[in-house]
Amino acid sequence: MSKKFVFAALGAALLSFNAFGQNVVFQGTVFDSETNQTLENATISATSEVGTYNTLTNLKCQFSVSLPKGNYNLTIRVLGYSSISKDINITDNSNQTFALQQQPIAIGEIVVSSMRVNRKIKELPTPLAVVESQSIQKQSAITLSNVLANEPGIAMGSDGVWATNINIRGLSENRLVTLIDGNRVETATDLTASLSMVDVNDIDRIEVVKGAQSSLYGTGAMGGIVNIFTKDGYFGDKFH
């Protein structure tokens, strides 16, 4: 090995060691300018001609990064706060604090849509039973309870004229909601009375949804809903 090569390798090693020895530790803490509360997960970027150094604040809301001495553009960002950007000169180990101001997050228009749309029965995610007025007439049903008793998955219990209990897939009336023309008429615990007070001659059709529907119809619809649609009124020359 030639002496020139040995001296070149030694010189390169000394230069690398010297360059590494010029690194300093830059530390800091990020906090809210109004509440003085420290902020976690703040992004710190220090950019110079050499390159960009990135780090985050830890659980103690502090950051630490080893940087070569020199001039940097420091940028600090936190979600929900205005970012800060400033030029700094790092010549020695330092520990600084940075205050950020709160800034509301600008979002676009929020559209809330309901799933109450007209869909084919075969496309529904939950079972739906529809009883048309023609079917009610063929059954010669006297009460609404008589109509529902013939539907699969529905069990009826009766204790007198005014006490008709309905169960859908094992869930009693306190887990069901009854509606007339899409309007909730009462709480689930009063479902017994509502079934007995509806005249079957006024019913156009009945829709029974079996399954949890609380997201659309509110509390009490864990077991399903009974939606009663009435006939439209009309004028005629005869009395019925």
121-230 carries CATH number 2.170.130.10:
yes
Rounded to whole angstroms, the Cα distance separating 169 from 184 reads 21
Q: Looking at residue 115, what is its pLDDT? A: 58
Answer whether 63's CB lies under 8 Å from 25's CB.
no
From the list 43, 41, 32, the residue with the least C-alpha distance to 102 is: 32
pLDDT, average across residues 232-237 = 72
| Residue 120 pLDDT > 50 | yes
* Chain position carrying tokens 């010029």: 22
pLDDT, average across residues 83-111 = 88
What does the pLDDT look like over 186-216, one tens digit per residue?
Answer: 654 555 455 667 788 888 888 888 877 766 7
Q: Domain ranges for the chain, please list them.
A: 21-100, 121-230
pLDDT, average across residues 64-83 = 92
The three-point CA angle 17-23-25 to 5° equals 145
Categorize the per-residue pLDDT at 13 as very low, low, confident or very high, splitting at 50, 70 and 90: very low
Answer whether 68's CB lies under 8 Å from 50's CB.
yes
Query: What contacts 179, CB < 8 A, 6 or more positions away?
Result: 185, 217, 225, 226, 227, 228
Categorize the per-residue pLDDT at 109 as very low, low, confident or very high, splitting at 50, 70 and 90: confident
Would you identify the CATH topology of the domain 21-100?
Immunoglobulin-like (2.60.40)
> Helix count (H) and strand count (E) of the chain?
5, 14
Residue % of the chain over a pLDDT of 70: 74
Q: Looking at residue 12, what is its pLDDT? A: 47
Rounded to whole angstroms, the Cα distance separating 142 from 129 reads 20
pLDDT, average across residues 120-138 = 75
What does the pLDDT look like over 158-186, one tens digit per residue?
Answer: 655 555 677 777 777 777 788 888 787 76
pLDDT, average across residues 133-138 = 80
As beta bridge partners, residue 100 has 32
Q: Looking at residue 164, what is its pLDDT? A: 66
